[in-house]
């Protein structure tokens, strides 16, 4: 699982552990994941941590080796890596570096990782890849152009993985969280998006909670969706 140090990523890690998964967790600083790894071990599951900056090729190559060796193979890859922050700005005023940085973290890094892991997964009989994309990749929000473009590209990468690797037993799907927040930040986040007028475009008229996203990821990763590939699930309260 990439991006395990984030709020959504850590919630997903706990949920997968409750479902019986052993996890290799990665974020930029491995020590940040130690408390989460301890939680997972306390559930009776195995957990390993690996530091990885998805803009650094050597880190990605090291992650591929360490993740495969940790438990003798990989059944599911959950790609939830994020840049340190979505770089804000429009197409004209965003710093040019923002577009490269977002693309490296969100698209190029996962692609390099999967180019290393996919052949091994094929030899082992296949597996499942789940990418975490974003509604901003399909429903643009002003000021998030670099982030939205990268997330839209990650969805296209997901489709290509499904198309090219499906004959070898690898499924690839995506889920797109909309406006979601943890319990601690829920009220503040709701106030912010209400002020921006986004809730009026959301059928359920509220911000979601992280735990409401988890079922979609587990479904796509598991054999419950064994005949599903190249698809995406929007968990966004019905944004129109």
Cβ-based burial of 69 (10 A; exposed 0-12, middle 13-18, buried ≥19): exposed
User: Could you tell me which residues come within 8 angstroms of residue 114 by beta carbon, excluding any fewer than 6 positions away?
Assistant: 77, 79, 129, 161
Taking the C-alpha atoms of residue 53 and residue 83, their distance in angstroms, rounded to an integer, is 9
Active site residues: 147
Taking the C-alpha atoms of residue 209 and residue 228, their distance in angstroms, rounded to an integer, is 25
Do 131 and 157 contact (CB within 8 A), yes or no? Answer: yes
Q: Give the alpha-carbon dihedral of 67, 71, 75, 79, to 10 degrees.
A: -30
User: Could you tell me which residues come within 8 angstroms of residue 79 by beta carbon, excluding any fewer than 6 positions away?
Assistant: 2, 3, 110, 113, 114, 129, 130, 131, 132, 154
């Amino acid at each position: 699982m990439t991006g395990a140090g984030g709020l959504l990523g850590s919630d997903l890690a706990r949920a997968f552990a409750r479902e019986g998964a052993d996890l290799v967790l990665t974020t930029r600083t491995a020590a940040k994941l130690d408390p989460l790894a301890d939680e997972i071990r306390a559930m009776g599951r195995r957990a390993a941590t690996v530091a990885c900056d998805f803009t650094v090729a050597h880190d990605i190559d090291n992650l591929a080796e360490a993740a495969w060796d940790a438990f003798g193979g990989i059944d599911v890859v959950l790609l939830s890596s994020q840049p340190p922050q979505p770089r804000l700005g429009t197409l004209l005023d965003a710093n040019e570096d923002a577009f490269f940085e977002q693309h490296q973290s969100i698209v190029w890094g996962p692609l390099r990782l999967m180019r290393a892991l996919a052949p091994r997964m094929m030899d082992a009989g296949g597996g499942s890849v789940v990418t975490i994309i974003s509604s901003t990749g399909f429903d643009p929000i002003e000021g998030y152009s670099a982030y939205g473009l990268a997330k839209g590209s990650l969805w296209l990468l997901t489709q290509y993985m499904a198309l090219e690797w499906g004959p070898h037993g690898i499924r690839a799907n995506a889920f797109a969280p909309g406006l979601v927040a943890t319990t601690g930040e829920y009220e503040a986040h709701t106030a912010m998006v209400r002020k921006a007028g986004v809730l009026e475009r959301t059928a359920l008229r509220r911000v979601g909670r992280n735990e409401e996203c988890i079922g979609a990821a587990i479904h796509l990763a598991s054999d419950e969706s064994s005949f599903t590939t190249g698809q995406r699930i929007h968990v966004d309260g019905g944004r129109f």
